[in-house]
Chains A and B, each alone.
Chain A
Amino acid sequence: MSIYIDKTSRVVIQGITGRDGSFHARQMREYGTNVVSGVTPGKGGQKFDGEVPIFDTVADAVAQTKANVSVIYVPPPFAADAMMEAAAAGIALIVCITEGVPVLDMTRVYPYVKDHGARLIGPNCPGLITPGECKVGIIPGRICTPGSVGVVSRSGTLTYEVVDQLTRAGIGQSTCVGIGGDPINGTSFIDVLEAFEADPKTKAIAMMGEIGGTDEQEAALFIHDKMKKPVVGFIAGQTAPPGRRMGHAGAIISGSAGTAAEKIEAFERAGMGVARRPKDFVELLRARL
Chain B
Amino acid sequence: MNIHEYQAKEILRREGVPIPPGEIATTAAQVEQIARRLGGMVVVKAQVHAGGRGKAGGVKLAKTPAEAAEVGKNILGMQIKGLTVEKVLVTAAADIETEAYVGVIIDRASKRAVFMVSPAGGIDIEEVAATDPEKIMRLPVDPRYGLQPFEAMEMGFFLYKDVAKARAAARIMAQLYRAFIDSGASLAEINPLVTTPDGEVIAVDAKMVIDDNELDRRPDIAALRDESAEETSELQARRANLTFIKLDGDVGCIVNGAGLAMATMDLVKYYGGEPANFLDIGGSSSPEKVVNALRIITADSGVKAILFNIFGGITRTDDVANGIVTATKQSPLTVPLVIRLTGTNEEVALKILAENGFAATSDMDEAVQKVVALAKGGAK
Name A residues whose Cβ lies closer than 8 Å to a Cβ of B: 76-77, 99-104, 106-108, 110-111, 126, 138-140, 143, 153-161, 164, 181, 183-184, 208, 210-211, 213-215, 234, 236-241, 244-251, 255-256, 260, 276-279
Contacts and interface: CB of A to CB of B under 8 A. Distances in A.
Given A104-B181, A153-B259, A249-B213, 6 more contacts: A103-B213, A158-B257, A210-B259, A210-B262, A239-B262, A248-B258
Given A107-B106, A157-B313, A251 B262 contact: yes
B260 A155 contact: yes
B275 A155 contact: no
A155 B268 CA distance: 19
B interface residue count range (under 10 / 10 to 19 / 20 to 34 / 35 or more): 35 or more
Nearest to B244: A247
Given A140-B344, A158-B257, A107 B111 contact: yes
Contacts of A143: 343
A110 B261 CA distance: 29
B269 A156 contact: no
A8 B347 CA distance: 35
A171 to B, nearest CB: 17
Nearest to A155: B259
Contact of A161 (B112, B184, B311, B314): B311
B214 A104 contact: yes
Interface of B: 106, 108-109, 111-113, 126, 142-144, 181, 184, 186, 211-214, 216-217, 243, 245, 247, 255-263, 265-270, 275, 278, 280, 283, 311-315, 342-344, 364-365
B257 A157 contact: yes
A208 B259 contact: yes
B145 to A, nearest CB: 11
B108 to A, nearest CB: 5
16 contacts: A77-B216, A102-B184, A102-B217, A111-B143, A138-B314, A183-B106, A184-B111, A210-B259, A214-B109, A240-B265, A246-B261, A249-B211, A256-B126, A276-B270, A277-B270, A278-B364
Contact of B211 (A104, A126, A138, A237): A104
Given A210-B262, A215-B108, A241-B247, A155 B269 contact: no
Contacts of B266: 236-239, 260, 277
B106 A156 contact: no
Contacts of A214: 108-109
A277 B184 contact: no
A260 B269 CA distance: 14
B254 to A, nearest CB: 13
A247 B365 contact: no
Contacts of B144: 108, 111
Given A247-B261, A247-B280, A239 B111 contact: no
Contacts of B109: 213-214
Given A77-B217, A104-B211, A247-B278, A158 B313 contact: no
Contacts of A100: 213, 216
B269 A239 contact: yes
Contact of A140 (B111, B256, B343): B343
Nearest to B214: A102
B106 A157 contact: no
A240 B259 CA distance: 11
Contact of B269 (A238, A244, A250): A238
Most buried by A among B113, B216, B263, B343: B263
A169 to B, nearest CB: 13
A247 B109 CA distance: 20
B345 to A, nearest CB: 12
Nearest to A213: B108
A102 B180 CA distance: 13
Given A104-B214, A164-B311, A278-B364, A236 B113 contact: no
Nearest to A100: B213
Given A111-B143, A239-B247, A244-B245, A103 B262 contact: no
B211 A102 contact: yes
B259 A154 contact: yes
B376 to A, nearest CB: 17
Given A181-B258, A184-B108, A239 B265 contact: yes
Given A101-B213, A140-B313, A238-B269, A108 B260 contact: no
Contact of A181 (B213, B259, B315): B259
Contacts of A277: 263, 266-267, 270, 365
Contact of A236 (B142, B143, B259): B259
B211 A247 contact: no
Contacts of B268: 239
A154 B262 CA distance: 12
Nearest to A208: B259
A211 B262 contact: yes
Contacts of B256: 157
A155 B278 CA distance: 15
A247 B283 CA distance: 12
Contacts of B143: 104, 107-108, 111
A247 B108 contact: no
B217 to A, nearest CB: 6
A114 to B, nearest CB: 10
A184 B106 contact: yes
A176 B249 CA distance: 34
A260 B258 CA distance: 15
Contacts of B186: 103, 183
